[in-house]
Structure 1
């Protein structure tokens, strides 16, 4: 079946509910999340998965090895404020959509960069960590897992992602202390790869994405290598939420 070209920029999930925009600048795809504080609902997660599929289909349709990378950025003072807890409590299958989104991003076919324009809390922190690289603004914003303070457990796959992406000391601070890492602390803890002023955020993210975009020329091997690096995390992210003893968030 021939690849169907999708017109960009693309409003997602629809023009009526324009929560995010997927655009392209040469070899770079940019997913701009701009729905208030970018909390995750089933609809939002499925829209991100759709955006990722559009990018992946475009990449796989190339006849020659191609440089390509994806940047995800938020809006205003939030990269993402995490899960819409009310929605997650009312609609338990939501968690499966959220976990599928994390897994697809973690194993994505091309290099990915999260541009942290502001706070990345809880589920938003997880979204950032699912990317290959992270750039964080210096003037304001924290990376934080606040489940300890809101008395919410973490799915095994989310814990696995944190273990995969952090050191034991940083993991303890994130999960058991709910510590809020500012940009300097996040850089020192290897939670992010670069920090910069807000006005330089996208330029820095694009420079980093362009640096690693040539690795996409490995084709499906890039994804295969990522999958091998994160085998245990993928397995635990694939545990259906209904199989857990408690569905309480």
Structure 2
């Protein structure tokens, strides 16, 4: 389960399991609940503060928990499940302190969108991909996901990423404007923490107001309930 550490003014939310290199990290409902609980703790911080998310090993986040969804007999929960995922994105988009994703490894599908929901992104340069494989898996993008991607990516990058399933390396992602910086394996997290610490003094009440206004249209879109009508075909459903 995710866990929280602190480096000076910077909260580091590790998305994986403490004490082990993570083989797979996905949006399981229990994982989502734990992340929200930890974000609750971070939001209580007073004074300078910033948030970095990362993981350990070759995975940052591999997206929706399709084993739980399709193999666990939970297909009937699809729409409400997606809404809980979108709520995590919305929370990060409007988070009342600076946020940086330290993308230590693969960020696929909903995991790529998780990184994209942060203010800034630092990606490992030597290994790992940022990728939206939905088109290759027969899946569509929920309206909330589409809005998130369209708000963060240039139109042509969105076209390429969403309609081809291209796997972007760190250098590719930097060139496309998907991430803001790249670093080698040992430097991804320290770089993100350094950048976050430099912004921590901006943790004031006005930052939350600025973010809500800046992202008002996106936040409205992320709050739209997912239904059969607006989701369309999703992995054959």
TM-score, length-scaled by structure 2? 0.89
Distance 2:116 2:69 in 1: 21
Determine if contact 1:106/1:130 at 8 Å carries over to the other structure.
Answer: yes
- The answer for the alignment partner of 1:113 in structure 2 is 100
- Please say if 1:28 is aligned against 2:13: no
C-alpha deviation, 1:236, in angstroms: 1.3
RMSD, aligned α-carbons: 1.5
C-alpha deviation, 1:194, in angstroms: 1.0
Determine if contact 1:41/1:94 at 8 Å carries over to the other structure.
Answer: no
- The answer for the alignment partner of 1:144 in structure 2 is 131
Tell me the SS of whatever aligns to 1:72: strand
Determine if contact 1:88/1:95 at 8 Å carries over to the other structure.
Answer: no
- The answer for the alignment partner of 2:52 in structure 1 is 71
C-alpha deviation, 1:247, in angstroms: 7.6
Aligned length: 223
Of the three residues 194, 198, 214, the one matched with 1:229 is 214
- Structure 2, unaligned runs of 5 or more: 18-22
Q: Which is bigger in relative contact order (C-alpha 8 A, separation at least 6)?
A: 2
Of the three residues 161, 170, 175, the one matched with 1:183 is 170
Q: Report 1:206-225 matches (<5 A).
A: 206-216=193-203, 219-225=204-210
C-alpha deviation, 1:220, in angstroms: 2.3
Determine if contact 2:50/2:99 at 8 Å carries over to the other structure.
Answer: yes
1:35-64 C-alpha deviation (Å, 9 max, x unpaired): 43111111111211111111102x2xx3xx
1:64-118 C-alpha deviation (Å, 9 max, x unpaired): xx21101100121110111111323413221121111111011100000100100
TM-score, length-scaled by structure 1? 0.85
Tell me the SS of whatever aligns to 2:168: coil
C-alpha deviation, 1:168, in angstroms: 0.7
Distance 1:205 1:143 in 2: 17
Distance 1:43 1:79 in 2: 17
- Please say if 1:135 is aligned against 2:122: yes
